[in-house]
């Protein structure tokens, strides 16, 4: 990909967005669908929430700590693609361990490798947008990446149905897609001529300086929104099994909770993808804050709807509304972050720090899982309304505090 080809602006960002397609396809199938079912198979019904939460949450320490150091290393050598390639190799190795794991602890070891590989690739990849995309086109680029992220989730849902819910088939699909998109991005995105960082240490104290004021608020608001997402997403499979139970949608009867979850997430992604490109372009014209305010209102309303319904048909309708807001949010997510970076020699380091806002909320999944199990023991399915209420609070906070960002309209 080069930024000088005379094709449409969106088309020019397709190779750049390809890896994000695979990254999102990977997590769409792994985190909400494969991992909950595998953990329940390993540890049983009574402790599924806590074991899943602590597995996903504790091992989130890896992508919490590692990306800033990887980003600093990438800035120092002035390269992005080698990190993307080797990160993918480690990620695939971890997926293979998880696929063939005979028990919970070997499975957890495979997940360690998955997190390591993701961390090695993520912050150098995230730096590609500020490296190669002009500031006036970052809304379009962010919207394109959001569209690819959401279309990958649609593809993930279709894959789950096409494979009949096969665990092995879904793991193979993840590995195949991840290898393909890594090849596309590393082959067709030209390595940027970045300014090499000549410093020799990671100075985290810089993020408390005045020039990083807006960056701190962008980080915090993203952390709030992701906290809302991770309060419920890992437990949606359990929610469908325990609360919804039957999956009738008109004349269609979905036979299992796994496929019902794939259908809900896929339909959510359809409406989200419908808004992603439009909202990204719109944010270049009217500003990013109005788009985020709209998105935050819809996501909070969607979480409230999930907390109140016991009907699968209503849950699908609510997912469609939630998707409108979620698509609008992630369409400007990257653009908002890259608009407040003050130092062009530190793109990968800063985007590595920004990536922590995605990962940090995962540390609390163990706590969320315990809240779920405790609430369910106190009253039948009583934990789910608590989790959705927590999500609503986080979505509202992540929306309101965007107003504190001064350098972006």
Q: What is the DSSP string of 315-362?
A: HHHHHHHHHHHHHHHHHHHHHHHHTT---GGGHHHHHHHHHHHHHGGG
Nearest CA-CA partner of 347 in 172, 215, 153, 158: 215
For residue 10, what pLDDT is reported? 54
Yes or no: say if 10 and 144 are a contact pair by the CB < 8 Å rule: yes
Nearest CA-CA partner of 38 in 160, 167, 161: 167
Residue 249 phi/psi, 5-degree rounding, is -130, 95
For residue 178, what pLDDT is reported? 95
Cα of 390 vs its chain's centroid, Å: 19
CA 178/CA 176 separation, integer angstroms = 6
> In sequence order, what are the beta bridge partners of 199?
none
Share of the chain above pLDDT 70, in %: 91
Sorted by sequence, the CB contacts under 8 Å of residue 6 that are 6+ apart come out as none
Q: How confident is the model at residue 8 (pLDDT cuts 50, 70, 90)?
A: very low
Q: How many residues does the chain have?
A: 409
Q: Compute the mean pLDDT over every residue in the chain, rounded to the nearest whole number.
A: 83
Mean pLDDT of the region 192-201:
58
CA separation (Å) from 218 to 112, 136, 279, 294, 355?
A: 28, 19, 18, 17, 11
Query: In which element (H, E) is residue 253 found?
Result: strand 252-253
DSSP classification of residue 404: G
CA 394/CA 228 separation, integer angstroms = 5
Q: Does position 206 have pLDDT exceeding 60, yes or no?
A: yes
Top-confidence residue, 135 or 299: 299
- Helix then strand count (H, E) for the chain reads 18, 2
Residue 247 phi/psi, 5-degree rounding, is -125, 70
Top-confidence residue, 384 or 342: 384
Decide: residue 364, CB within 10 A, 0-12 exposed, 13-18 middle, 19+ buried. middle
For residue 5, what pLDDT is reported? 40
Q: Express each pLDDT in 27-80 by its tens digit.
A: 888 987 899 889 888 887 777 777 887 787 677 777 777 877 887 788 888 788
For residue 197, what pLDDT is reported? 55
Mean pLDDT of the region 190-214:
71
Top-confidence residue, 53 or 290: 290
Q: How confident is the model at residue 9 (pLDDT cuts 50, 70, 90)?
A: low
Mean pLDDT of the region 346-350:
76
Q: Does position 288 have pLDDT exceeding 90, yes or no?
A: no
For residue 400, what pLDDT is reported? 92
């Amino acid at each position: 990909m080069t930024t000088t080809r005379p094709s449409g602006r969106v088309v020019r960002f397709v190779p750049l967005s390809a890896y994000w397609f695979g990254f999102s396809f990977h997590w769409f199938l792994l985190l909400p669908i494969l991992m909950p079912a595998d953990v329940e198979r390993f540890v049983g019904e009574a402790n599924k929430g806590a074991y899943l939460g602590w597995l996903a949450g504790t091992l989130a320490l890896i992508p919490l700590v590692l990306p800033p150091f990887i980003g600093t290393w990438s800035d120092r050598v002035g390269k992005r693609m080698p990190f993307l390639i080797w990160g993918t190799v480690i990620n695939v190795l971890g997926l293979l361990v998880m696929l063939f794991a005979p028990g919970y602890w070997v499975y957890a070891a495979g997940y360690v490798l998955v997190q390591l590989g993701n961390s090695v690739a993520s912050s150098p990849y995230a730096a590609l947008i500020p490296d190669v995309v002009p500031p006036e086109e970052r809304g379009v680029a962010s919207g394109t990446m959001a569209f690819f992220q959401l279309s990958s989730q649609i593809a993930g849902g279709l894959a789950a149905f096409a494979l009949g819910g096969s665990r092995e088939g879904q793991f193979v699909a993840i590995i195949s897609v991840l290898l393909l998109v890594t090849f596309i991005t590393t082959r067709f995105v030209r390595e940027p001529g970045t300014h090499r960082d000549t410093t020799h240490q990671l100075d985290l104290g810089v993020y408390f300086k005045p020039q990083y004021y807006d960056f701190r608020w962008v980080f915090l608001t993203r952390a709030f929104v992701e906290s809302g997402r991770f309060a419920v997403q890992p437990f949606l499979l359990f929610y469908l099994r325990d609360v919804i139970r039957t999956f009738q949608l008109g004349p269609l009867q979905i036979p299992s909770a796994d496929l019902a979850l794939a259908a809900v997430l896929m339909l959510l992604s359809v409406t989200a993808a419908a808004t992603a490109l439009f909202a990204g372009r719109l944010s270049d014209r009217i500003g990013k804050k109005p788009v985020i305010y709209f998105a935050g209102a819809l996501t909070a309303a969607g979480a409230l709807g999930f907390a109140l319904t016991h009907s699968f048909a209503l849950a699908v309708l609510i997912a469609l509304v939630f998707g409108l807001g979620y698509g609008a949010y992630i369409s400007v997510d990257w653009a908002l972050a890259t608009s407040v970076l003050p130092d062009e020699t530190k793109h990968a380091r800063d985007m590595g720090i920004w990536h922590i806002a995605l990962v940090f909320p995962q540390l609390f999944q163990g706590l969320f899982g315990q809240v779920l199990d405790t609430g369910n023991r106190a009253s039948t399915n009583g934990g789910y309304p608590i989790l959705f209420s927590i999500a609503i609070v986080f979505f509202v906070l992540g929306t309101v505090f965007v107003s504190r960002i001064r350098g972006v309209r």
